[in-house]
């Protein structure tokens, strides 16, 4: 039989997803929920705890407020699940080779001036990091995420986010063998930005694919087995590409 707390959480989850309880609205207090469902308050608390773990509600003072799970939180959960399934460098690279060029193509048609300005600022920061010999990985991930956001496609954003997180392990693996890879990365990003600025989808896709091919060659040069499972990177921000 289905536990009572699951009945509570499933009912509230469906109402939240359908928009019957909109984002920002407080849930009824435990006593009212207990009376509504005809169960003990401890059962209500367990059901609410499940919703909180799912990111559908959060505590604001003494209230429980409906919230929409953020891309980053969903991506981290998916990344952990993928690691548990022992995804390989090749798995992730193959998916990136489809998603990232798609992002570049859609962004070329939809990007606005404010988004172009954010990419330009990112390029300045990346250039400074490369010139100083510091890690550009965080800036690299940000650039790719900014391009994806310029697609204005929420499904695509959610699909690529965990793949982007997993790609960081590949960047970290390349660093010791190819210290010059930061400059190549910067050149690719500059070319993508120029293509997006000119609304040139073909060039944006071409340079995105060049960057991904560089990534594969870098892994091979570094002696990384493309069919090996991707290890955990504990501190991505401190890794070098």
With H, G, I as helix, E, B as strand and everything else as coil, classify residue 153. coil
CATH 1.10.10.10 placement within the chain: 4-66
Of 125, 129, 83, 75, give the one whose Cα is nearest residue 238: 129
Return the residue matching tokens 């604001």: 60
Q: Would you say residue 238 has pLDDT above 50?
A: no
162-180 pLDDT, tens digit per residue, is: 999 898 888 877 766 677 7
Which residue's entry shows tokens 């590409």?
241
Give the pLDDT score at 240: 37
Q: Which fold would CATH assign to domain 4-66?
A: Arc Repressor Mutant, subunit A (1.10.10)
The whole-angstrom separation of Cα 125 and Cα 141 is: 13
Query: In the 8-state DSSP scheme, what is residue 47?
Result: H
Has residue 234 got a pLDDT over 70?
A: no
Q: 104 pLDDT exceeds 70? A: yes
Whether residue 224 is predicted with pLDDT greater than 60 in this model: the reply is yes
The model carries a pTM of: 0.75
Structure tokens at 86: 């022992």
What does the alpha-carbon distance between residue 154 and residue 149 come to, in Å, rounded to a whole number? 8
For the residues 35-48, what does the mean pLDDT come to? 95
DSSP-assigned states of every residue in 80-127: HHHHHTT-BHHHHHHHHHHHHHHHHHHHHHH--HHHHHHHHHHHHHHH
Domain 72-238, what architecture? Up-down Bundle (1.20)
CA–CA dist 187, 178 (Å, integer): 15
Which region, left, alpha or beta, applies to residue 19 given φ > 0 means left and ψ of -120 to 50 means alpha?
left
The pLDDT assigned to 74 comes to 80
- pLDDT grade for 233, boundaries at 50, 70 and 90: low
Residues 6+ apart with CB under 8 A from 237: 135, 137, 138
Higher pLDDT, 238 or 26: 26
Instruction: Average the pLDDT over 203-207 and give the result.
Output: 98
Nearest to 92 by CA among 239, 192, 224, 236: 224
Q: Looking at residues 16-45, what average pLDDT do you find?
A: 93
What do you get for the CA distance between the two ends of the chain, in Å? 52
Say how far apart CA 149 and CA 26 lie, in whole Å: 30
- With a cut of 80, say whether residue 13 has pLDDT above it: yes
- CATH 1.20.120.530 residue ranges of the chain are 72-238
> pLDDT band for position 134 (50/70/90)?
confident
CA atoms of 215 and 167, how far apart (whole Å)? 9
Instruction: Indicate whether 232 pLDDT > 80.
Output: no
Task: Provide the pLDDT for residue 48.
Answer: 95
For the chain, percent of residues with pLDDT exceeding 70: 95
Structure confidence by residue, pLDDT tens digits, 69-101: 777 778 888 888 898 899 999 999 999 999 999
Predicted local distance difference test score (pLDDT) of residue 239: 40
Sequence-separated (6 or more) residues with CB below 8 Å from residue 12:
21, 27, 47, 48, 51
């Amino acid at each position: 039989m289905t536990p009572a707390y699951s009945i509570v959480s499933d009912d509230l989850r469906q109402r939240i997803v359908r928009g019957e309880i909109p984002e920002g609205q407080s849930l009824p207090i435990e006593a009212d929920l207990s009376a509504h469902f005809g169960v003990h308050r401890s059962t209500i608390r367990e059901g609410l705890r499940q919703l909180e773990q799912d990111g559908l509600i959060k505590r604001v003072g003494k209230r429980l407020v409906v919230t929409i799970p953020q891309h980053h939180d969903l991506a981290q959960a998916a990344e952990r699940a993928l690691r548990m399934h022992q995804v390989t460098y090749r798995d992730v690279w193959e998916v990136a080779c489809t998603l990232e060029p798609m992002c570049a193509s859609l962004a070329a048609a939809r990007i606005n001036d404010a988004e172009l300005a954010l990419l330009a600022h990112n390029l300045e920061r990346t250039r400074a990091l490369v010139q100083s010999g510091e890690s550009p990985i965080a800036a690299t991930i940000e650039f790719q995420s900014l391009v994806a956001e310029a697609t204005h496609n929420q499904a695509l954003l959610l699909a690529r986010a965990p793949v982007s997180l997993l790609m960081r392990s590949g960047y970290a693996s390349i660093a010791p063998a190819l210290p010059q890879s930061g400059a190549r990365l910067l050149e690719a990003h500059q070319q993508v930005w120029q293509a997006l600025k000119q609304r040139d989808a073909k060039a944006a896709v071409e340079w995105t694919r060049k960057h991904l091919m560089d990534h594969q060659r870098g892994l091979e040069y570094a002696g990384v087995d493309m069919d090996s499972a991707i290890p955990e990177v504990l501190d991505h921000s401190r890794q070098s590409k």
